[in-house]
Amino acid sequence: MSQSKAGGLGSHIFLYSFLFGMIIFLVNYVSSGHYKLFDLTPQKQYSLSSQTVKVLKSLDEKVTVIAFMKAGTDMRASVKRLLEEYSYHSDKLEWEFVDPDKKPELSAKYGVNSYNSFVVVSFSDKREMFNGVMNEDQLTNAVIRASSENENVAYFTTGHGEKDLESKEITGYAEFAKALRAENFRVERLLLANHKSVPKDATLLIIAGPTKDFLAREISTLRRYLNSGGGKLLFMADPLTKSNAISLLSEYGITAMDDVIVDNLSRSLGGNYTTPAVATYNGSHEITKDFKIITLYPIARSLKVDKGEGLQVLASTFKESWGETDKAGIEKGVAQFDPKEDNNGPLAIAAVADIASESGAAKSRLVVFGDSDFVGNSFIGQNGNRDLIMNTVNSLAGERERIAIRPRDIEMEPLVFSENEIYAIGAISAIGIPLFVAVTGIAVNRRRKRS
């Protein structure tokens, strides 16, 4: 090759190498400021929940997360990854690590007296702290509480056999109360008979599974609360019970039927035939829009919803279900559909009524469920039960950015092979790979001999 050709080839190689290097530099420069994260795991275990993303995007002021941790720990690395994911979705969220041993003055300022303590500080210096292991659920709820200007108040009526907020029994509401407090609700009991009206600081009123009648003046108070405008009432009416408060619902277009929902399909999902599984939701209402998780209701009644403005069904059972009116048969564990007496599915199990006020003020909202046990201690953690009830409560409270699917615990998914797949893997390991190596070796040896 002549010297001129060699020099020309060298120039071309240098030019191409330079251009390739410039392209790599520009791609890295642009991607450093504009990047997209992808999560290809089946359970999206490295993605934040829709609730967290909504909360982060709704931040108006700066929120700072301070992690008081020792340097160099494995836990610190996982916390950093989670905080990076949070700040990726909002430039309003900032974070920093503080070693309590090196900056004791900061630990004293924020009341930190142990390692692995996390403080969330809002722009107005409102603080929330938690200790131990940081996870998405704890961090998001701390951000909600720290960034919220006002505290919502949820009043639960008492004195009529309603669910107990502090009870840790199967049907108790200790876990529901805990979930409410985590999302910045103050939970209070209300003996309505001692009040002429619902307290003015009430964000919403909850009547959970009454089994006894209300006093006449209590019914009048409830009626005024809904008719005067701005009232927010969540009513959960259990089957096999009677209360005049349940009869009040029909005045607003929602009738709690005197039946028990029977759903044989729920047996295939591991439930009981009197525990209907629900997967049909109203896609146009904010409470259930994009909601696609099954919810379970242990012993529920159906709802009849009138046609009219402001009245909507939120959730319905499968068409194979029916409303059984033979209570004696239910108690004996025998249920047979009777087309003359029973209510044919699909059946409404949750409904909403937006009620125009008599004075023209803001509308009131009434949400009714045909069961109260679905948010009891043993069922609130099942499938989508917690998400649905918290979406309902946040809708009533006007906290629309919190209507979403919440963080879930990551479940182990073992890799399971069929018998044929195990034999195939064994054959490839024992025969296929050694055979491939042998054939490749013979082919290479022959080529060397020829050359």
Say if residue 59 is in the same domain as residue 76.
yes
Q: What is the pLDDT of residue 330?
A: 81
pLDDT tens digits, residue range 359-398? 777 899 999 999 999 999 999 999 999 999 999 999 999 9
Considering the domain boundaries, does residue 446 fall inside one? Answer: no
Q: Which of 100, 121, 147 is the last residue of a domain?
A: 147
Are 274 and 342 within one domain? yes
Domain-embedded: residue 136: yes
213 versus 16: the higher-pLDDT residue is: 213
Residue 199 lies in a domain: yes
Q: Which residue has the tokens 């937006």?
A: 354
Query: Tokens 């050359």 identify what position?
Result: 451
End-of-domain residue from the set 131, 147, 163: 147
**DSSP conformational letter for 118:** E
- Which one is predicted more confidently, 320 or 450? 320
Instruction: State whether 105 and 190 are in the same domain.
Output: no
What is the rounded CA–CA span in Å between residue 421 and residue 247?
60
Length of the chain: 451
What CATH number corresponds to the domain at position 96?
Answer: 3.40.30.10
Same domain? For 56 and 112 the reply is: yes
315 phi, psi to nearest 5 deg: -145, 140
Closest by CA to 263, choosing from 195, 337, 322, 197, is 322
Statement to judge: residues 222 and 343 lie in one domain: yes
In a domain, 201, yes or no: yes
- For residue range 235-291, list pLDDT tens digits in order: 999 999 989 999 999 999 999 999 999 998 876 666 688 999 999 999 999 999 999
Distance, in Å, from the CA atom of 401 to the CA atom of 426, rounded to the nearest integer, reads 52
Give whole-number Cα distances, 179 to 248, 302, 386, 391, 395, in Å.
Answer: 28, 26, 8, 12, 15
In a shared domain, residues 180 and 285: yes
Q: Quick check: helix, strand or coil at residue 96? A: strand
* Residues 295 and 224 both lie in one domain: yes
**pLDDT tens digits along 133-159:** 899 989 999 999 899 888 899 999 999
Question: What pLDDT, on a 0 to 100 scale, did the predictor assign at position 408?
Answer: 62
Please state whether the peptide bond connecting residue 346 to the residue before it is cis, i.e. omega within 30 degrees of 0.
Answer: yes
Decide if 435 is inside a domain: no
The answer to whether residue 441 is domain-embedded is no
Q: Is residue 167 domain-shared with residue 303, that is, in the same domain?
A: yes
Q: How many domains does the chain contain in total? A: 2
* Residue 422 forms part of a structural domain: no
pLDDT band at 410, cuts 50/70/90? very low
Residue bearing the bigger pLDDT, 327 or 287: 287
State which residues form the domain around 143. 50-147
User: Both 363 and 267 in a single domain?
Assistant: yes
Site of tokens 């009206």: 197
Same domain membership, residue 131 and residue 213: no
pTM more than 0.85: no
SS3 at position 85: helix
Q: How far apart are CA 355 and CA 233, in angstroms?
A: 11
